[in-house]
Structure 1
Amino acid sequence: MRTVLIPTDFSNNALQALKYAQELYKCKRTCFFILHAFADEVYGEYKTTPQEEIKKAEEKKRREIEEKLDKLVEEVMDHPPNPLHTFETIASFDNLVDGINDFVNEMNIDMVIMGTKGETSDHKTTFGSYTIEVFKYVQCPVLAVPKDFEYKQPKTILFPTDYMLPYKRRELKLLGDLAGDLKSEIHCLYITDFEVLSPRQEDNKLFLEGALNRAYLSFDTTSVKNKAEAIMEYIKEKDVGMLVMVNSRHSFFEDMLYRSTVDLLSLKVKVPFLVMQNLHR
């Protein structure tokens, strides 16, 4: 059974991400954990009050959040009904990233699926600041669903790679199983001016082939240019339905996130974006 965590701020985008997750795993036995982290809502309102007042505020807010979570489950669980799916709710008195991370580790979650924007996000960017924080720090694969994205089966999944990283088998298997269940093609894109792979790259490429053996794989190469532009061009040309990248030290994804967040935001990715963390779990 798959375990999927859905953070929600009760926005339309978060609801849309939950419905996308239901469609993505509609043929898979899945437990959906719906989490709302509310510590900021309590401390933001009661910054100077005594600790006992904070505790009362926490209990009051928790009851409110639990009621809203229950109503959310009622709204989605039977539209359409799916006997393969179960739902559990979590009201977490924590900040978003820590609340997600703690629950991911406690329950050994397979994937986090979330909307790219909440109610307070900057409408000029594709990803809200909370999404970026979750991408960077949550120790689990994270799939971000763009605002207003309507579900369609991702027939083509783009996986840019330089074959330099020995990716972790668990996360590759999750991707391979997803692609296999959806009958999707995974296109591995190498952005380079060199045609010959090193022995290390050849080994990592063979490992990819073995770990993604449930999916149809293709291996493409394009010349070096602005990497963000190369990815966006490929998405448009091949009608890509999902983008997958790995967040790891010295990876292209890390370079975009840590050195130039503006570059990542300017991608304006209009398809679901899966970020794998390449960590031992």
Structure 2
Amino acid sequence: MKKVLIPTDFSKNADHAVDYALNLYRCERTHFYFLHAYADQAYELGKSKSKSEMDSIGKALHDQTTAALEKTVERITDPLPNPRHHYEVVAVFDALVDAINDLVEHENIDLVIMGTQGATGSKNVSVGSNTVQVFKYVKCPVLAIPEGYVYHEPKNILFPTDYQLPFKRRELKLLDDMAGFFKSKIHCIYFTKFDTLSHRQSDNKLFLEKSLSRAYLSFGQEDDVNVLDGIAKYRANNEVDMIVIINSRNSFLENMLFRTTVDKMGLRTDIPLLVMQNVYR
């Protein structure tokens, strides 16, 4: 059984991500966890309050959050629930990223699915800051659904890769299962001006090919050094329903000095973006 975690702030776009998740796994036995972390709300309401007042605020928020999560479950199970799906609600006094990571570890979550804009999202970017933080620091694959994106099956998946990092078998299996079910084609594209692969790149490419055995795989190379420009050009000439990238988890100093691909993609995506974390679990 797949275990899918859906963080929600009860916004319209969060509900949209819930509906996408239910469609994506409509035929598969899946345990869905609906999570809301309310620590930020509690601290905002509890400014200059005593400890006892803060405790009362926390309890009230827990009750309100639990009731709202249960309404989310009621919405998706009315009039008839999917017999293949199980639902669980989790209201927790914690920061969002910490709450997600704790549940990922405790419940051995396979995938996090979330909307890209919350109730206070800016219209100037397509992915909110919370989503980018989840991309970068959660130890689990994360699938972000853009605001207003209309669900259709991920038949064509773009996977830009330079084959430099060793892939993790569990995360590739998640992608392989999805591609196998939808009979998807995965376009593995290397954006580079170099014609040959190193021994390490060749080994990683072979591992990728063996791990994605259920997908229709195609390997290509595009003469672009800038990955974002290369993705844009490729999409202009090819149908793409989902993009997959690897979070390389650069050092803290690198994250301070440079904007990573995750940051840059996070501000531009208008189709579902799957970020795989490249960590052992």
TM-score, with structure 1 as normaliser: 0.94
Partners of 1:4 and 1:31 within 8 A in 2: yes
Q: Please tell me whether the aligned partners of residues 136 and 257 of structure 1 are also in contact (alpha carbons under 8 angstroms).
A: no
Q: Is the 8 A contact 2:228 2:265 kept in 1?
A: no
Residue 257 of structure 1 contacts residue 264 of structure 1 at CA under 8 Å; is this kept in 2? no
Residues 253-281 of structure 1, C-alpha deviation per residue, up to 9 Å, x if partnerless? Answer: xx899722697168621110000000000
Residue 3 of structure 1 aligns with an amino acid whose one-letter code is K
Query: Matches of 2:96 and 2:110 in 1, distance apart?
Result: 18
Pair 1:43 & 2:43 matched: yes
The amino acid that maps onto 1:102 is D
Shift of 1:250: 5.4
1:28 alignment partner in structure 2: 28
2:112 is matched with which residue? Answer: 112
- How many residues are aligned here? 279
| In structure 2, C-alpha distance between the alignment counterparts of 1:161 and 1:229, rounded to whole Å | 14
Q: Map 1:75-114 onto structure 2 (within 5 A).
A: 75-78=75-78, 81-114=81-114
The residue number in structure 2 matching 1:260 is 259
Q: Is the 8 A contact 2:159 2:187 kept in 1?
A: yes
How far did 1:247 drift?
A: 0.3
Q: Are the structure 2 counterparts of residues 258 and 209 from structure 1 closer, same or farther at C-alpha, using a change threshold of 3 Å? A: farther
- Displacement after TM superposition at 1:147 (Å): 0.3
- Superposed CA deviations along residues 163-206 of structure 1, whole A, max 9, x for unmatched, are 11111100011111111011101110101111111111111000
Name the SS of the counterpart of 1:5 in structure 2: strand
**Quick check: 1:175 aligned with 2:175?**
yes
Query: In 2, distance between residues paired with 1:46 and 1:82?
Result: 40
User: Which is worse superposed, 224-233 or 81-90?
Assistant: 224-233
Alpha-carbon distance between aligned partners in 1 of 2:114 and 2:8, rounded to the nearest angstrom:
7
Look up the equivalent residue of 1:259 and give its one-letter code: F
User: Cα distance 1:241–1:190, how it changes in 2: closer, same or farther (>3 A)?
Assistant: same
User: C-alpha distance in 2, partners of 1:257/1:29?
Assistant: 41
Distance 1:113 1:258, change over 3 A: farther
Separation in structure 2 between the aligned mates of residue 179 and residue 72 of structure 1, nearest angstrom: 28
Matches within 5 A, 1:259-278: 259-260=258-259, 264=264, 268-278=268-278
Structure 2: 5+ residue runs without aligned partners?
none
Secondary structure of 1:213's aligned partner:
coil
User: What is the distance in 1 between the residues matched to 2:225 and 2:137?
Assistant: 28
Range 69-78 or range 25-34, more displaced: 69-78
Mark the CA change 1:97 to 1:250 in structure 2 (over 3 Å): closer, same or farther: closer
- 1:186 maps to what in 2? 186
**In the alignment, what sits opposite 1:70?**
70
Normalised TM-score (structure 2):
0.94
